[in-house]
Amino acid sequence: MAASTQFSAESYFATQPPPPSLEHDVAAVRDFIGRQKERGRKVVLVTSGGTTVPLELNVVRFLDNFSAGTRGATSAEYFLQAGYAVVFMHRQFSLQPFSRHYSHSTNPFLDFLEIEKTNSSGDSDLSHADISVTPSKRPDLFEVLKAYKSAHTLDLLHTLTFVTVNDYLWLLRALSQELSALGCKALYYLAAAVSDFFLPRQRMSEHKIQSGKGSLLIEMDQVPKILKPMVDEWSPDGFIVSFKLETDPELLIPKARAALERYGHQIVIGNDLHRRKFEVVFVSRTKHEDPISETWLRIDPHTTDSRGHPKEIEEDIIAQLVKMHDAWIAAKP
């Protein structure tokens, strides 16, 4: 196997092919951004879900990152409530805004529907039957459906998908460059779980890796760090929020601070794997020369909202980010 290579963002895009649908996807986002710019809206790019690393060109085996896309899908809804237009870039088949409420096995959508048969229809004749929603489930479903319809009627939500880390990197670069037309009104909420290592296309097996040869040794290359060119080149006026997930709480703040120092963006949201639903820390600074600050957001795991549902920490995360983004916009000349 050929020796590994240290990829910069520039060398990565020069050697790894773009996904086939890139031009089509970017054109659709460009049109969406253009409409939002005419209306004077703030736009957020939310990335969500995990990326895969294929091990073959004809993919059978791949490495995957742990993520159902819960934080991204939930956050997108709160951004919409705050008046943002949302470009939701998510892993194929991961959770999406609104439908996420009925995607889990503990809340299956079909259990909320009932078949109402007319008196004349037999058990096997459903041609004249009606479908209704279980009365106890109607209030919640009505609120979700109303928000979903409103987002689409008002042209506030555009979705597109990725699967591999290569898809993700190409899309992120292209969409950042398109969103740069909005200047400081563009917000980037990078909640996707992105692979740290990948196998360059030039070193992939064309066909399925065979198991008959015994053990398998694969040397992978580090995925290039794309936050720096994003800050410096692709969208220099954008408000960029990245995430840092750790399993060791002692590493969380030091690594979040190091990321902020290294890339020069605005905020790192740190979360511990086991407390991420109830506690996050904002590690941030407005200007590169400003001191780094740390702000903790915590919720009681037993807190409920006005409808009796468990409170979602994303509500507080987005409320805080909206304030910080507005201050960022106001400070721009």
CA 163 to chain CA mean position, Å: 12
User: CA torsion angle for 324, 329, 331, 332 (degrees, to 10)?
Assistant: 150
Neighbouring CB atoms inside 10 A of 87's CB total 25
Q: Which residues pair with 281 in a beta bridge?
A: 270, 296
What DSSP state is assigned to residue 34? Answer: H
pLDDT tens column, 132-167: 999 999 999 999 999 999 999 999 999 999 999 999
CA-to-CA distance for 197 and 53, rounded, in angstroms?
Answer: 8
Domains along the chain with CATH numbers = 9-102+154-331 (3.40.50.10300)
Which pLDDT band holds residue 109 (cuts at 50, 70, 90)? Answer: confident
Q: In this model, does residue 225 exceed pLDDT 90?
A: yes
CA 111 to chain CA mean position, Å: 28
Residues 255-288: b if buried by 16+ CB within 10 A, e if exposed: bbbebbeebebbbbbbbbeeebbbbbbbbbbeee
Q: In this model, does residue 2 exceed pLDDT 50?
A: no
Q: In this model, does residue 123 exceed pLDDT 80?
A: no
| Residues above pLDDT 90, as percent of the chain | 84
CA-to-CA distance for 143 and 77, rounded, in angstroms?
Answer: 12
CA-to-CA distance for 237 and 231, rounded, in angstroms?
Answer: 8
pLDDT tens column, 296-318: 999 999 999 888 889 999 999 99
CA-to-CA distance for 163 and 93, rounded, in angstroms?
Answer: 9
Please report, for residues 71, 171, 310, the alpha-carbon distance to residue 307 in angstroms, rounded to integers and kept in the order given: 20, 38, 9
CA-to-CA distance for 287 and 172, rounded, in angstroms?
Answer: 24
Q: Give all strands (DSSP E) within 15-67, no chain letters.
A: 43-48, 52-54, 62-64
Q: What average pLDDT is seen over the chain?
A: 94
Neighbouring CB atoms inside 10 A of 142's CB total 11
pLDDT, residue 306, reads: 82
Sorted by sequence, the CB contacts under 8 Å of residue 104 that are 6+ apart come out as none
Give the residue-averaged pLDDT of 29-41.
99
SS3 at position 3: coil
pLDDT tens column, 161-201: 999 999 999 999 999 999 999 999 999 999 999 999 999 99
Prediction pTM value:
0.95
pLDDT, residue 35, reads: 99
Q: In this model, does residue 253 exceed pLDDT 90?
A: yes
pLDDT, residue 124, reads: 63
- Amino acid in the structure at residue 46: V
pLDDT, residue 252, reads: 97
Q: In this model, does residue 218 exceed pLDDT 50?
A: yes
Q: In this model, does residue 56 exceed pLDDT 50?
A: yes
Which pLDDT band holds residue 54 (cuts at 50, 70, 90)? Answer: very high
| Residues above pLDDT 70, as percent of the chain | 96
CA-to-CA distance for 324 and 311, rounded, in angstroms?
Answer: 22
pLDDT, residue 1, reads: 41
Burial class of 199 by CB neighbour count within 10 A (0 to 12, 13 to 18, 19+): buried
Six-digit token string for 178: 């398109």
